Copies of this chain bind each other. A is one copy, B any other.
Amino acid sequence: MIRSLLRSTASRSFVCNYSSKAVPLTAETYSSKVSRNPSFKKLDETDIKHFQTILNDGNGLITDADDLLFYNEDWMRKYRGQSQLVLKPKSTEQVSSIIKYCNEQKLAVVPQGGNTGLVGGSNPVFDEIIISLSGLNKIRAFDEVSGILKCDAGLILENADNFLAEKGYIFPLDLGAKGSCHVGGNVATNAGGLRLLRYGSLHGSVLGLEAVLPDGTIYNSMESLRKDNTGYDLKQLFIGSEGTIGIITGVSILCPSRPQAFSVALLGVSSYEAVQKVFVGARKELSEILSAFEFMDRNSQVLAGQHLKLDHPIESDQYPFYILIETSGSNKEHDDEKLETFLANSMEEGLVDDGIIAQDETQLKSLWSWRESIPESSTMNGGVYKYDVSLPLKDLYGLVEAVNVKLQEAGIVGFDDPTKPVVEAIGYGHVGDGNLHLNVCVREYSKEIEKVLEPFVYEWIQSKNGSISAEHGLGFQKKNYIGYTKNDVEIKLMKELKKHYDPNGIMNPYKYI
Protein backbone atom coordinates (compact mmCIF):
# COMPACT_ATOMS: atom_id res chain seq x y z
CA MET A 1 0.00 0.00 0.00
CA ILE A 2 1.12 3.47 -0.79
CA ARG A 3 1.30 4.65 2.77
CA SER A 4 3.86 2.12 3.78
CA LEU A 5 6.37 3.92 1.61
CA LEU A 6 6.48 6.80 4.02
CA ARG A 7 9.28 6.73 6.52
CA SER A 8 8.97 8.08 9.99
CA THR A 9 12.15 9.96 10.62
CA ALA A 10 14.17 10.97 13.61
CA SER A 11 13.68 14.06 15.68
CA ARG A 12 17.19 15.07 14.88
CA SER A 13 19.66 13.07 12.92
CA PHE A 14 22.29 13.38 10.31
CA VAL A 15 21.37 11.50 7.19
CA CYS A 16 24.55 10.01 5.85
CA ASN A 17 25.44 7.39 3.35
CA TYR A 18 26.38 3.90 4.34
CA SER A 19 30.09 3.29 4.04
CA SER A 20 32.47 0.58 5.02
CA LYS A 21 34.14 2.96 7.46
CA ALA A 22 33.65 1.73 11.01
CA VAL A 23 31.10 3.55 13.10
CA PRO A 24 32.89 5.34 15.95
CA LEU A 25 32.30 3.86 19.38
CA THR A 26 29.62 5.74 21.27
CA ALA A 27 31.76 5.55 24.40
CA GLU A 28 34.57 7.35 22.59
CA THR A 29 32.49 9.91 20.70
CA TYR A 30 30.76 10.94 23.91
CA SER A 31 33.62 10.23 26.32
CA SER A 32 33.20 13.62 27.95
CA LYS A 33 29.54 12.99 28.65
CA VAL A 34 29.32 9.38 29.74
CA SER A 35 31.47 6.82 31.52
CA ARG A 36 30.90 3.20 32.39
CA ASN A 37 29.10 2.66 35.67
CA PRO A 38 31.70 0.86 37.76
CA SER A 39 29.04 -0.86 39.87
CA PHE A 40 28.09 -3.04 36.90
CA LYS A 41 29.79 -6.40 36.76
CA LYS A 42 31.90 -7.32 33.74
CA LEU A 43 30.73 -10.38 31.88
CA ASP A 44 32.76 -13.56 32.49
CA GLU A 45 32.74 -17.20 31.45
CA THR A 46 30.59 -18.26 34.42
CA ASP A 47 27.89 -15.87 33.26
CA ILE A 48 27.96 -17.19 29.72
CA LYS A 49 27.72 -20.78 30.96
CA HIS A 50 24.75 -19.79 33.09
CA PHE A 51 23.00 -18.18 30.10
CA GLN A 52 23.73 -21.31 28.03
CA THR A 53 21.92 -23.34 30.68
CA ILE A 54 18.94 -20.98 30.62
CA LEU A 55 18.63 -20.86 26.83
CA ASN A 56 19.44 -24.53 26.35
CA ASP A 57 20.13 -23.77 22.69
CA GLY A 58 23.40 -23.13 20.89
CA ASN A 59 21.75 -20.53 18.61
CA GLY A 60 20.49 -18.41 21.45
CA LEU A 61 23.88 -16.85 22.28
CA ILE A 62 25.97 -14.65 19.99
CA THR A 63 29.56 -14.00 21.02
CA ASP A 64 31.32 -13.79 17.66
CA ALA A 65 32.69 -10.28 17.06
CA ASP A 66 31.43 -10.00 13.47
CA ASP A 67 27.98 -11.27 14.36
CA LEU A 68 27.78 -8.91 17.31
CA LEU A 69 28.28 -5.85 15.08
CA PHE A 70 24.73 -5.96 13.72
CA TYR A 71 23.37 -5.67 17.26
CA ASN A 72 25.97 -3.22 18.57
CA GLU A 73 25.34 -0.66 15.82
CA ASP A 74 22.24 1.33 14.95
CA TRP A 75 21.14 1.34 11.33
CA MET A 76 21.91 5.03 10.88
CA ARG A 77 25.50 4.16 11.83
CA LYS A 78 25.63 6.86 14.46
CA TYR A 79 26.08 4.69 17.55
CA ARG A 80 28.22 1.65 18.31
CA GLY A 81 28.34 -0.27 21.55
CA GLN A 82 30.80 -2.86 22.78
CA SER A 83 28.60 -5.68 23.92
CA GLN A 84 30.28 -9.07 24.00
CA LEU A 85 27.02 -10.99 24.21
CA VAL A 86 23.64 -11.10 22.52
CA LEU A 87 20.99 -13.36 24.03
CA LYS A 88 17.96 -14.52 22.05
CA PRO A 89 15.44 -16.03 24.41
CA LYS A 90 12.51 -17.92 22.95
CA SER A 91 10.10 -17.66 25.84
CA THR A 92 9.03 -15.17 28.46
CA GLU A 93 10.30 -17.53 31.14
CA GLN A 94 13.76 -17.47 29.58
CA VAL A 95 13.69 -13.65 29.54
CA SER A 96 12.71 -13.75 33.19
CA SER A 97 15.55 -16.12 34.16
CA ILE A 98 18.05 -13.98 32.27
CA ILE A 99 16.97 -10.72 33.86
CA LYS A 100 16.76 -12.18 37.34
CA TYR A 101 20.33 -13.41 37.04
CA CYS A 102 21.54 -10.11 35.55
CA ASN A 103 19.93 -8.18 38.38
CA GLU A 104 21.51 -10.39 41.02
CA GLN A 105 24.90 -10.14 39.33
CA LYS A 106 24.50 -6.45 38.41
CA LEU A 107 25.04 -7.16 34.75
CA ALA A 108 23.60 -4.29 32.69
CA VAL A 109 21.30 -5.12 29.76
CA VAL A 110 19.85 -3.49 26.64
CA PRO A 111 16.56 -4.83 25.28
CA GLN A 112 16.53 -4.78 21.49
CA GLY A 113 13.63 -5.13 19.05
CA GLY A 114 14.05 -4.51 15.33
CA ASN A 115 16.90 -2.05 16.00
CA THR A 116 15.21 0.55 13.79
CA GLY A 117 15.19 3.43 16.29
CA LEU A 118 17.02 6.66 15.62
CA VAL A 119 18.12 7.81 19.05
CA GLY A 120 20.44 4.95 19.98
CA GLY A 121 17.94 3.53 22.45
CA SER A 122 18.40 -0.11 21.52
CA ASN A 123 22.20 -0.21 21.27
CA PRO A 124 24.63 -0.62 24.13
CA VAL A 125 26.88 2.26 25.10
CA PHE A 126 29.53 0.11 26.81
CA ASP A 127 29.44 -3.66 27.43
CA GLU A 128 25.76 -4.12 28.26
CA ILE A 129 24.33 -7.51 27.34
CA ILE A 130 21.91 -7.23 24.42
CA ILE A 131 18.66 -9.11 24.84
CA SER A 132 17.13 -9.49 21.40
CA LEU A 133 13.42 -10.21 21.29
CA SER A 134 13.63 -11.60 17.75
CA GLY A 135 13.11 -15.16 18.94
CA LEU A 136 9.77 -14.24 20.50
CA ASN A 137 7.83 -13.67 17.30
CA LYS A 138 4.57 -15.61 17.38
CA ILE A 139 0.97 -14.54 17.05
CA ARG A 140 -0.62 -15.90 20.20
CA ALA A 141 -4.30 -15.37 19.48
CA PHE A 142 -6.70 -13.30 17.43
CA ASP A 143 -10.35 -12.76 18.20
CA GLU A 144 -12.15 -12.16 14.93
CA VAL A 145 -15.19 -10.73 16.68
CA SER A 146 -13.54 -8.15 18.91
CA GLY A 147 -10.44 -7.54 16.77
CA ILE A 148 -8.10 -8.13 19.72
CA LEU A 149 -4.67 -9.41 18.67
CA LYS A 150 -2.33 -11.04 21.18
CA CYS A 151 1.24 -11.54 20.08
CA ASP A 152 4.83 -11.86 21.17
CA ALA A 153 6.79 -8.63 21.43
CA GLY A 154 9.28 -9.72 18.76
CA LEU A 155 6.64 -10.06 16.03
CA ILE A 156 7.56 -7.85 13.06
CA LEU A 157 4.96 -5.12 12.53
CA GLU A 158 4.45 -5.95 8.86
CA ASN A 159 3.87 -9.62 9.69
CA ALA A 160 1.26 -8.59 12.21
CA ASP A 161 -0.45 -6.32 9.68
CA ASN A 162 -0.35 -8.92 6.90
CA PHE A 163 -1.94 -11.44 9.23
CA LEU A 164 -4.63 -8.91 10.14
CA ALA A 165 -5.25 -7.97 6.49
CA GLU A 166 -6.32 -11.55 5.80
CA LYS A 167 -8.87 -11.22 8.57
CA GLY A 168 -10.17 -7.84 7.38
CA TYR A 169 -8.45 -5.92 10.16
CA ILE A 170 -5.61 -3.42 10.31
CA PHE A 171 -2.86 -2.83 12.85
CA PRO A 172 -3.61 0.59 14.41
CA LEU A 173 -0.07 1.77 13.66
CA ASP A 174 1.95 2.05 10.47
CA LEU A 175 5.43 3.35 9.88
CA GLY A 176 8.25 3.24 7.39
CA ALA A 177 10.28 0.63 9.25
CA LYS A 178 7.37 -1.81 9.38
CA GLY A 179 9.35 -4.52 7.61
CA SER A 180 11.91 -4.68 10.43
CA CYS A 181 10.50 -3.10 13.58
CA HIS A 182 8.92 -5.21 16.29
CA VAL A 183 5.50 -4.70 17.81
CA GLY A 184 7.12 -4.75 21.25
CA GLY A 185 9.60 -2.09 20.20
CA ASN A 186 6.74 0.03 18.87
CA VAL A 187 5.06 -0.15 22.25
CA ALA A 188 8.30 0.43 24.18
CA THR A 189 8.89 3.63 22.19
CA ASN A 190 5.20 4.59 21.96
CA ALA A 191 5.44 4.85 18.17
CA GLY A 192 2.85 7.13 16.55
CA GLY A 193 3.48 6.72 12.86
CA LEU A 194 1.02 7.29 10.05
CA ARG A 195 -2.29 6.18 11.51
CA LEU A 196 -2.33 8.24 14.69
CA LEU A 197 -4.79 10.83 13.36
CA ARG A 198 -7.27 8.06 12.65
CA TYR A 199 -6.65 5.40 15.27
CA GLY A 200 -5.14 7.33 18.17
CA SER A 201 -2.16 6.51 20.34
CA LEU A 202 -0.98 3.16 21.64
CA HIS A 203 -2.01 4.30 25.13
CA GLY A 204 -5.57 3.85 23.90
CA SER A 205 -5.25 0.79 21.66
CA VAL A 206 -2.92 -1.41 23.72
CA LEU A 207 -5.21 -3.42 26.00
CA GLY A 208 -2.66 -5.50 27.84
CA LEU A 209 1.02 -6.27 28.10
CA GLU A 210 3.35 -8.96 29.32
CA ALA A 211 6.66 -7.65 30.62
CA VAL A 212 9.60 -8.88 32.63
CA LEU A 213 10.57 -6.53 35.44
CA PRO A 214 14.17 -5.91 36.50
CA ASP A 215 13.93 -8.51 39.29
CA GLY A 216 12.65 -11.17 36.88
CA THR A 217 9.00 -10.84 37.90
CA ILE A 218 6.64 -11.50 35.00
CA TYR A 219 3.94 -8.85 34.84
CA ASN A 220 0.99 -10.12 32.82
CA SER A 221 -2.11 -8.16 31.87
CA MET A 222 -2.59 -9.85 28.51
CA GLU A 223 -6.16 -10.82 29.34
CA SER A 224 -7.17 -7.18 29.55
CA LEU A 225 -10.50 -6.13 28.21
CA ARG A 226 -11.74 -3.04 26.49
CA LYS A 227 -13.29 -1.82 29.73
CA ASP A 228 -11.62 -2.72 33.00
CA ASN A 229 -11.55 -0.45 35.99
CA THR A 230 -9.84 -2.42 38.69
CA GLY A 231 -6.78 -0.55 39.87
CA TYR A 232 -3.87 1.43 38.43
CA ASP A 233 -3.36 0.86 34.72
CA LEU A 234 0.20 -0.39 35.16
CA LYS A 235 0.72 -1.35 31.51
CA GLN A 236 0.68 2.35 30.61
CA LEU A 237 4.03 2.80 32.35
CA PHE A 238 5.72 0.41 29.94
CA ILE A 239 4.33 2.20 26.86
CA GLY A 240 7.13 4.57 25.94
CA SER A 241 9.47 3.44 28.73
CA GLU A 242 12.18 2.38 26.24
CA GLY A 243 13.17 -0.73 28.15
CA THR A 244 14.22 1.15 31.28
CA ILE A 245 11.85 -0.50 33.76
CA GLY A 246 11.19 -3.84 32.12
CA ILE A 247 11.25 -5.81 28.88
CA ILE A 248 7.96 -6.11 27.04
CA THR A 249 7.48 -9.73 25.94
CA GLY A 250 3.84 -9.77 24.86
CA VAL A 251 1.27 -7.30 23.51
CA SER A 252 -2.52 -7.37 23.42
CA ILE A 253 -3.93 -4.72 21.10
CA LEU A 254 -7.31 -3.69 19.73
CA CYS A 255 -7.31 -3.62 15.92
CA PRO A 256 -9.83 -1.69 13.80
CA SER A 257 -11.56 -2.93 10.65
CA ARG A 258 -9.50 -2.46 7.52
CA PRO A 259 -10.83 0.40 5.35
CA GLN A 260 -12.23 -0.67 1.98
CA ALA A 261 -11.33 2.47 0.05
CA PHE A 262 -8.76 5.27 -0.01
CA SER A 263 -8.94 8.71 -1.66
CA VAL A 264 -6.26 11.40 -1.89
CA ALA A 265 -6.26 15.10 -2.77
CA LEU A 266 -3.40 17.58 -3.13
CA LEU A 267 -4.13 21.26 -2.57
CA GLY A 268 -2.35 24.58 -2.88
CA VAL A 269 -3.03 27.32 -0.28
CA SER A 270 -1.68 30.77 0.25
CA SER A 271 -0.83 30.91 3.96
CA TYR A 272 -0.20 28.78 7.02
CA GLU A 273 -3.35 30.29 8.46
CA ALA A 274 -5.25 28.78 5.53
CA VAL A 275 -3.63 25.40 6.27
CA GLN A 276 -5.11 25.53 9.76
CA LYS A 277 -8.53 26.62 8.51
CA VAL A 278 -8.64 23.84 5.94
CA PHE A 279 -7.70 21.40 8.69
CA VAL A 280 -10.57 22.57 10.90
CA GLY A 281 -12.94 22.19 7.95
CA ALA A 282 -11.60 18.73 7.11
CA ARG A 283 -12.03 17.57 10.71
CA LYS A 284 -15.63 18.72 10.51
CA GLU A 285 -16.70 17.74 7.00
CA LEU A 286 -14.53 14.68 6.44
CA SER A 287 -14.61 13.85 10.11
CA GLU A 288 -14.84 10.07 10.38
CA ILE A 289 -13.10 9.31 7.06
CA LEU A 290 -10.09 11.64 7.44
CA SER A 291 -6.97 9.49 7.74
CA ALA A 292 -4.11 11.84 6.83
CA PHE A 293 -3.68 15.60 6.74
CA GLU A 294 -0.14 16.48 5.71
CA PHE A 295 1.26 19.89 4.92
CA MET A 296 4.37 20.79 2.93
CA ASP A 297 5.87 24.21 2.39
CA ARG A 298 6.72 25.60 -1.04
CA ASN A 299 10.43 24.95 -0.84
CA SER A 300 9.89 21.34 0.13
CA GLN A 301 7.92 20.95 -3.11
CA VAL A 302 10.56 22.76 -5.17
CA LEU A 303 13.16 20.32 -3.83
CA ALA A 304 10.85 17.35 -4.39
CA GLY A 305 10.31 18.47 -7.99
CA GLN A 306 14.05 18.68 -8.60
CA HIS A 307 14.49 15.25 -7.12
CA LEU A 308 11.52 13.59 -8.85
CA LYS A 309 12.29 15.42 -12.11
CA LEU A 310 8.58 15.93 -12.56
CA ASP A 311 6.22 18.86 -12.95
CA HIS A 312 4.13 19.52 -9.90
CA PRO A 313 0.61 18.10 -10.28
CA ILE A 314 -0.94 21.45 -9.45
CA GLU A 315 -0.36 23.81 -12.34
CA SER A 316 2.05 26.01 -10.47
CA ASP A 317 4.31 25.05 -7.63
CA GLN A 318 4.33 28.60 -6.39
CA TYR A 319 1.83 28.31 -3.55
CA PRO A 320 3.37 28.98 -0.15
CA PHE A 321 1.83 25.78 1.23
CA TYR A 322 0.52 22.47 -0.02
CA ILE A 323 -1.82 20.07 1.71
CA LEU A 324 -2.24 16.36 1.14
CA ILE A 325 -5.51 14.90 2.40
CA GLU A 326 -6.19 11.18 2.56
CA THR A 327 -9.57 9.68 3.39
CA SER A 328 -10.27 6.04 4.06
CA GLY A 329 -13.60 4.43 4.68
CA SER A 330 -16.04 1.69 3.89
CA ASN A 331 -17.57 3.20 0.74
CA LYS A 332 -15.44 4.78 -1.99
CA GLU A 333 -18.34 6.57 -3.66
CA HIS A 334 -19.41 8.24 -0.41
CA ASP A 335 -15.85 9.17 0.46
CA ASP A 336 -15.20 10.74 -2.93
CA GLU A 337 -18.42 12.70 -2.79
CA LYS A 338 -17.51 14.06 0.65
CA LEU A 339 -14.02 14.95 -0.47
CA GLU A 340 -15.21 16.68 -3.65
CA THR A 341 -17.86 18.66 -1.77
CA PHE A 342 -15.33 19.65 0.84
CA LEU A 343 -12.85 20.86 -1.75
CA ALA A 344 -15.49 22.76 -3.67
CA ASN A 345 -16.58 24.50 -0.45
CA SER A 346 -13.01 25.28 0.56
CA MET A 347 -12.27 26.82 -2.83
CA GLU A 348 -15.46 28.81 -2.74
CA GLU A 349 -14.49 30.18 0.65
CA GLY A 350 -11.14 31.18 -0.80
CA LEU A 351 -9.17 28.92 1.53
CA VAL A 352 -7.87 26.64 -1.20
CA ASP A 353 -6.43 28.15 -4.36
CA ASP A 354 -6.02 25.01 -6.42
CA GLY A 355 -6.33 21.27 -5.97
CA ILE A 356 -6.41 17.85 -7.55
CA ILE A 357 -8.05 14.57 -6.56
CA ALA A 358 -6.50 11.25 -7.52
CA GLN A 359 -8.69 9.41 -10.03
CA ASP A 360 -7.04 6.04 -9.70
CA GLU A 361 -4.47 4.09 -7.71
CA THR A 362 -1.59 5.37 -9.88
CA GLN A 363 -2.54 8.99 -9.33
CA LEU A 364 -3.03 8.31 -5.66
CA LYS A 365 0.52 7.01 -5.40
CA SER A 366 1.78 9.90 -7.50
CA LEU A 367 0.20 12.51 -5.22
CA TRP A 368 1.64 10.79 -2.15
CA SER A 369 5.10 10.86 -3.77
CA TRP A 370 5.18 14.65 -3.41
CA ARG A 371 5.03 14.14 0.33
CA GLU A 372 7.09 10.97 0.53
CA SER A 373 10.02 12.15 -1.51
CA ILE A 374 10.78 15.15 0.69
CA PRO A 375 13.14 13.31 3.07
CA GLU A 376 15.29 12.08 0.21
CA SER A 377 15.04 15.37 -1.70
CA SER A 378 16.31 17.14 1.40
CA THR A 379 19.68 15.42 1.14
CA MET A 380 20.29 16.03 -2.56
CA ASN A 381 22.59 19.00 -2.01
CA GLY A 382 24.77 17.21 0.51
CA GLY A 383 23.06 16.45 3.77
CA VAL A 384 20.32 17.38 6.18
CA TYR A 385 19.82 18.13 9.84
CA LYS A 386 16.47 16.64 10.83
CA TYR A 387 14.19 17.51 13.73
CA ASP A 388 10.97 15.53 14.39
CA VAL A 389 9.10 17.59 16.96
CA SER A 390 5.66 18.42 18.31
CA LEU A 391 4.27 21.94 18.57
CA PRO A 392 0.89 23.51 19.20
CA LEU A 393 -0.74 23.77 15.76
CA LYS A 394 -0.67 27.54 15.64
CA ASP A 395 3.09 27.52 16.17
CA LEU A 396 3.89 24.54 13.97
CA TYR A 397 5.33 26.45 11.05
CA GLY A 398 6.73 29.24 13.17
CA LEU A 399 9.76 27.13 13.95
CA VAL A 400 10.71 26.83 10.27
CA GLU A 401 10.38 30.59 9.81
CA ALA A 402 12.39 31.27 12.96
CA VAL A 403 15.17 28.93 11.86
CA ASN A 404 15.36 30.54 8.43
CA VAL A 405 15.63 33.99 10.01
CA LYS A 406 18.32 32.68 12.34
CA LEU A 407 20.27 31.17 9.44
CA GLN A 408 19.99 34.39 7.45
CA GLU A 409 21.19 36.45 10.38
CA ALA A 410 24.18 34.16 10.63
CA GLY A 411 24.80 34.71 6.90
CA ILE A 412 25.17 31.02 6.20
CA VAL A 413 22.17 30.31 3.99
CA GLY A 414 21.71 30.67 0.24
CA PHE A 415 19.40 28.60 -1.92
CA ASP A 416 21.25 29.49 -5.12
CA ASP A 417 24.57 30.41 -3.56
CA PRO A 418 26.90 27.40 -3.48
CA THR A 419 29.35 29.31 -1.28
CA LYS A 420 26.88 29.14 1.63
CA PRO A 421 26.87 25.94 3.71
CA VAL A 422 23.08 25.89 4.16
CA VAL A 423 20.63 25.55 1.26
CA GLU A 424 17.51 26.28 3.29
CA ALA A 425 15.26 25.09 6.09
CA ILE A 426 12.05 23.43 4.96
CA GLY A 427 9.03 22.26 6.90
CA TYR A 428 6.36 19.62 6.45
CA GLY A 429 4.55 17.11 8.60
CA HIS A 430 1.40 15.67 10.13
CA VAL A 431 -0.82 18.66 10.90
CA GLY A 432 -3.35 16.31 12.45
CA ASP A 433 -0.83 15.25 15.08
CA GLY A 434 0.89 18.61 15.61
CA ASN A 435 4.02 16.89 14.35
CA LEU A 436 6.53 18.99 12.39
CA HIS A 437 9.47 17.74 10.38
CA LEU A 438 12.03 20.49 10.19
CA ASN A 439 14.73 19.69 7.64
CA VAL A 440 17.73 21.96 7.43
CA CYS A 441 19.18 21.10 4.04
CA VAL A 442 22.92 21.66 3.87
CA ARG A 443 25.79 21.42 1.43
CA GLU A 444 28.05 20.12 4.18
CA TYR A 445 27.92 19.28 7.86
CA SER A 446 29.74 21.72 10.08
CA LYS A 447 30.12 22.79 13.69
CA GLU A 448 29.23 26.31 12.54
CA ILE A 449 25.78 25.26 11.37
CA GLU A 450 25.22 23.15 14.46
CA LYS A 451 26.03 26.08 16.71
CA VAL A 452 23.45 28.22 14.92
CA LEU A 453 20.82 25.50 15.20
CA GLU A 454 21.36 24.30 18.74
CA PRO A 455 20.26 24.95 21.37
CA PHE A 456 18.19 27.53 19.42
CA VAL A 457 15.77 24.94 18.01
CA TYR A 458 15.22 23.27 21.42
CA GLU A 459 14.80 26.62 23.15
CA TRP A 460 12.27 27.77 20.58
CA ILE A 461 10.27 24.53 21.01
CA GLN A 462 10.43 24.96 24.77
CA SER A 463 9.15 28.54 24.52
CA LYS A 464 6.03 27.23 22.74
CA ASN A 465 5.53 24.29 25.12
CA GLY A 466 6.31 21.84 22.35
CA SER A 467 8.07 18.49 22.54
CA ILE A 468 11.63 17.89 21.37
CA SER A 469 10.63 14.32 20.52
CA ALA A 470 7.38 13.57 18.69
CA GLU A 471 8.66 10.10 17.81
CA HIS A 472 11.45 7.68 18.71
CA GLY A 473 11.72 8.77 22.34
CA LEU A 474 14.80 9.91 24.20
CA GLY A 475 17.24 7.01 23.94
CA PHE A 476 20.87 7.98 24.27
CA GLN A 477 20.67 10.99 21.97
CA LYS A 478 18.15 13.08 23.89
CA LYS A 479 18.74 11.93 27.46
CA ASN A 480 20.16 15.30 28.37
CA TYR A 481 17.54 17.35 26.55
CA ILE A 482 14.40 16.18 28.36
CA GLY A 483 14.40 19.42 30.35
CA TYR A 484 13.40 21.29 27.20
CA THR A 485 10.05 19.50 27.24
CA LYS A 486 9.39 18.26 30.74
CA ASN A 487 9.41 20.34 33.92
CA ASP A 488 11.44 19.66 37.05
CA VAL A 489 8.58 17.95 38.88
CA GLU A 490 7.96 15.60 35.99
CA ILE A 491 11.63 14.73 35.70
CA LYS A 492 11.92 14.15 39.45
CA LEU A 493 8.86 11.87 39.44
CA MET A 494 10.28 9.93 36.49
CA LYS A 495 13.63 9.43 38.17
CA GLU A 496 11.90 8.21 41.32
CA LEU A 497 9.84 5.78 39.28
CA LYS A 498 12.93 4.44 37.54
CA LYS A 499 14.56 3.87 40.92
CA HIS A 500 11.38 2.28 42.27
CA TYR A 501 11.38 -0.39 39.57
CA ASP A 502 15.07 -0.71 38.80
CA PRO A 503 17.06 0.11 41.96
CA ASN A 504 20.26 -1.36 40.51
CA GLY A 505 19.81 0.60 37.28
CA ILE A 506 20.66 -2.39 35.09
CA MET A 507 17.92 -1.78 32.52
CA ASN A 508 19.13 0.15 29.47
CA PRO A 509 21.53 2.38 31.40
CA TYR A 510 23.04 5.72 30.25
CA LYS A 511 19.78 6.62 28.51
CA TYR A 512 16.29 8.05 28.83
CA ILE A 513 16.38 10.12 32.02
Which residues of chain A have a CB within 8 Å of any CB of chain B?
143-147, 168, 189-190, 192, 196, 200-201, 203-205, 217-221, 223, 225-234, 236-237, 239-241, 245, 256-257, 259-260, 276, 279-280, 283-289, 329-331, 334, 337-338, 390-394, 430, 432-435, 465-474, 478, 482, 485-487, 489-491, 493-494, 496-498, 500, 512-513
Contact = CB atoms under 8 A, between A and B. Distances in A.
A189 B223 contact: no
Given A168-B284, A334-B334, A490-B221, A497 B234 contact: yes
A260 B287 CA distance: 10
B223 A465 contact: yes
A201 to B, nearest CB: 5
Given A232-B497, A287-B329, A289-B288, A227 B470 contact: yes
26 contacts: A144-B280, A145-B280, A146-B393, A146-B434, A190-B233, A200-B204, A201-B226, A203-B203, A203-B236, A204-B205, A217-B489, A220-B487, A225-B434, A229-B473, A230-B467, A230-B485, A232-B497, A232-B498, A233-B237, A234-B490, A257-B284, A259-B287, A288-B289, A289-B330, A331-B337, A331-B338
Contacts of A434: 146, 225-227
Given A147-B283, A200-B205, A226-B434, 5 more contacts: A145-B279, A203-B233, A225-B470, A229-B467, A234-B490
Contacts of A329: 287-288
Given A204-B205, A234-B497, A227 B334 contact: no
A490 B434 CA distance: 35
Contacts of A331: 334, 337-338
A58 to B, nearest CB: 32
A85 to B, nearest CB: 28
A363 to B, nearest CB: 23
A287 B168 CA distance: 11
A358 to B, nearest CB: 20
A434 B143 CA distance: 12
A228 B217 CA distance: 29
Most buried by B among A226, A466, A486: A226
A241 B494 CA distance: 18
Nearest to A276: B145
Given A219-B489, A338-B334, A241 B232 contact: yes
B470 A229 contact: yes
Contact of A227 (B227, B435, B512): B435
Given A259-B287, A286-B330, A494 B239 contact: no
A192 B229 CA distance: 9
A379 to B, nearest CB: 24
Nearest to A197: B226
Given A233-B236, A236-B237, A227 B196 contact: yes
Contacts of A226: 196, 201, 390, 432-435
A197 B234 CA distance: 22
B393 A143 contact: yes
A300 to B, nearest CB: 20
A116 to B, nearest CB: 15
Nearest to A483: B230
Contacts of A227: 192, 196, 201, 390, 430, 433-435, 467, 470-471
A146 B239 CA distance: 24
In the A-B complex, the 4 residue pairs with the closest CB atoms: A204-B204, A236-B236, A223-B465, A228-B467
A473 B229 CA distance: 5
A229 B287 contact: no
Nearest to A221: B490
A287 B284 CA distance: 18
A284 B330 contact: yes
B146 A392 contact: yes
Contact of A287 (B228, B257, B465): B257
Contacts of A147: 283
A61 to B, nearest CB: 28
Given A218-B489, A284-B168, A472 B234 contact: no
Nearest to A471: B229
A236 B204 CA distance: 10
A160 to B, nearest CB: 18
Nearest to A497: B232
A486 B240 contact: no
